[in-house]
Each structure stands twice: as C-alpha cells, then as structure tokens.
Chain A
Amino acid sequence: MSKLSELFSSVLGIPEQQITDDLSPATESKWDSLNAIILITEIENAFGVEFGYDEAMAVKNYGDAVKLIQSKGKDPYV
C-alpha cells in the first residue's frame, strides 16, 4: 500500500485492494467528474506538486497518475 493508493481509496471510498494500474472511470463508477477534480487536487497537495491542465486531463487511469507523479520527480509508492 502507498500514499497514492491510500489517497485513491479515501477519495473514491473503495478498498485499496481494488486499486490497480487499470483502475479508471470506466471501471469504477465512483471515479466521477467531481471525484476526478478532488483526486487531482489531493494528489497535488499530498505530493507537493503542481500539474498543468493538459497533464491533469491526460490522467485516464491510476497508472497514468503514477507516471505523472514520477514525471515530477516524486515517488508515488512511498
């Protein structure tokens, strides 16, 4: 378990065990438009990073979020 998976679990209200790189709005109905915004802002706060609009909109699944955080020089698996 990691800070990022804990964050997704908390925002989406799902067990961390359900969180895989393929988790997306298509596979999880709780990943709706409101929670998508909350996820991005919570990730920014949790990892001390800022995303551009195009970067944030390119996050289509959990794996994309992992890569985006790594691209900012942060470790999503802490």
Chain B
Amino acid sequence: MSEPKVLNFAELKVGDSASFEIDLDVDFIDKFANLSGDHNPLHTNESYAAATSFGNRIPHGMIAGALFSRLVGMELPGKYALYIGQTLSFRKPLPAPGRVCVSGLITNCSGATRTIRIATVVQHAETKMILVEGEALVRVLK
C-alpha cells in the first residue's frame, strides 16, 4: 500500500498541483458497482447499454468522485486532508477501457480556516478532453 504525501498547510500555496493516471476497464466498473450497490444496467449490462446512445457500458460518473478522493487523500495535500466538500460536473462519459488523467490545482488558501480549494479535473489521458470537473474544499489538519 502506498503512503500519502505529507504536506502541511504552510507548505501549500495557490498554483500547487498534483496528478496521476489510471486505466479504467469493465472490471473497474464491476468493482465500483459492487462497492456502491449501483447496478444500473447502463453501467453493468452489455446488451442494455448497447441499445443506448452510448453504445456500450459506461463507467459510473461517481468513479470520478472516488478518483478525486485519491487525489486529495494521497497527493494534494495527502495525509492531513479532511474533505469538506466536492462539486462535480459530468461533461462526457469516462472511457472503459481507457486511460484517464486525474489532476488538481490549488486555487485558494484560507489561513483563517486552514482550508484549500482545489480545481479538480478528469481528462482523457490521450486526447486531454475534459470528462469530469469540479472543485474540492479541503481542510488541512496541520
């Protein structure tokens, strides 16, 4: 198991960023379906999904939420993160199979509340097309 980065509030500033890439596939979708209990056929049923405008199974949009959790909890700021809030806009379906890039950019640091705002984005790793975006509000505990 990898260890989270250890960044305290004083070490963070506007413009700091972090990112990672990850491969998505139908196995990832099935695991998320089991974890969340969301077995909507658009995500889990090949024949049903094939008859929709998407043409095949698409990942749950909230997988992006899970990836943002990894970004905040492991990378930016890592160990001392306390997630307060997250907005999400699902622009396009996540690819499966496909590789995505998950990134975050600090846009605001509040010393009074020791919170940071992070612009969070999931992009297609190759085309760089924005698939999901939002904003994280995170308290930094130290």
Chain A interface residues toward B at CB < 8 A: 33-34, 36-37, 40-41, 44, 50-53, 55-56
Contact = CB atoms under 8 A, between A and B. Distances in A.
A51 to B, nearest CB: 4
A44 B84 contact: no
Contact of A40 (B85, B112, B137): B112
Interface of B: 84-85, 110-115, 137, 139
B84 A51 contact: no
A44 B137 contact: no
Nearest to B110: A41
Contacts of B111: 50-53
A52 B111 CA distance: 6
A55 B114 CA distance: 12
Q: Which of B85, B110, B114, B137 has the most CB of A within 10 A?
A: B110
A17 B104 CA distance: 41
A51 B112 contact: yes
B106 to A, nearest CB: 15
Given A33-B84, A37-B84, A50 B112 contact: yes
Contacts of B115: 37, 41
Given A40-B112, A41-B113, A53-B111, 18 more contacts: A33-B84, A34-B84, A34-B137, A36-B113, A37-B84, A37-B110, A37-B113, A37-B115, A37-B137, A41-B110, A41-B112, A44-B110, A44-B112, A50-B112, A52-B112, A55-B112, A56-B112, A56-B113
